[in-house]
Structure 1
């Protein structure tokens, strides 16, 4: 029963968080015992405490291994059906092209954290997670991510201020953010970021 459920809902190479497993007809203890049996049989591999995956057998290494970045994304950013966080800081600045620096620590804002910031390890990767000032969703995650980037722009950019502004404005146009979307997240907008958006001409790039 559990084996079929895991194949249908996760498949190969997807992180399976024990605390998230809720299966009709099986108690929490029964699920845990079933997971132990599936690990013993080789169907499941244990990645870390409470984290498992279904490995594919064969290939150069004999079997597939779980990508730590996938664990981070699934735990704090999104799964197949829901968005609950976003990557921020140096990682996103690099993604935008503001810097060539690669972060030693991945910073994430997520609904799945209750503190204002704490450091943890996922595999060998350092991750800093912090709670969001408003609930993150599919509808607002990219805009919240951008607002963070605007607020942090001078800290991370390796470009001139003019080049930095051009990149950020290009991103706003590409994503076609609207004034309505901005209004919906206004409670997350700091005074300093709002001031930059006006001074840098970005406020006028949001569609009506």
Structure 2
């Protein structure tokens, strides 16, 4: 079984997405860091645990909300914002530029979903999201401020 197949067993259950890669693996995939992790962190509804498969180590963390295919990308953005100061080889302003490019492509419904999911994250994360959304739609930013 390949490493990718091993990871999929933690991210899918009966063909439905139940988890996503977060942490250093996510930051690397988005081009926010050049570091390649040996341990892949997966957020899911499974209990926190570590699994070592020799070639790859998996760390399961509890997702803040149930994960689905439709909310995975939004949760990834919120995870990046919540850990913006902890991303190696990057600075927060560069990270914000990368995330701003991603959020600008969302339609209004996607932005609403992002705002709804942000309610499960810290006030700092919601404030950073507010900064991003303010550039796209001032009314949505006001809704986030009032959450």
Q: TM-score if structure 2 supplies the norm length?
A: 0.79
Based on CA coordinates, which of the two structures has the bigger radius of gyration?
1
| Residue among 166, 180, 201 paired with 2:112 | 180
Q: Does 1:71 align with 2:2?
A: no
Count the aligned residue pairs.
137
1:5-34 deviation digits (Å, cap 9, x = unpaired): xxxxxxxxxxxxxxxxxxxxxxxxxxxxxx
4+ long deviations beyond 6 Å: none
Q: Partners of 2:126 and 2:70 in 1: how far apart?
A: 20
Q: Partners of 2:32 and 2:88 in 1: how far apart?
A: 5
| Aligned CA-pair RMSD | 2.3
Which structure: greater helix fraction? 2
Matches within 5 A, 1:101-140: 101-111=35-45, 113-114=46-47, 117-140=48-71
Partner of 2:132: 202
For structure 1, the residue ranges without an aligned partner over 5 or more in a row are 1-65
Partner of 1:13: none
Greater RCO (CA < 8 Å, at least 6 residues apart) = 2
1:56-79 deviation digits (Å, cap 9, x = unpaired): xxxxxxxxxx21221211x11136
CA contact (8 A) 2:28 2:34 kept: yes
Q: Does 1:170 align with 2:101?
A: yes
Deviation at 1:184, TM superposition (A): 3.4
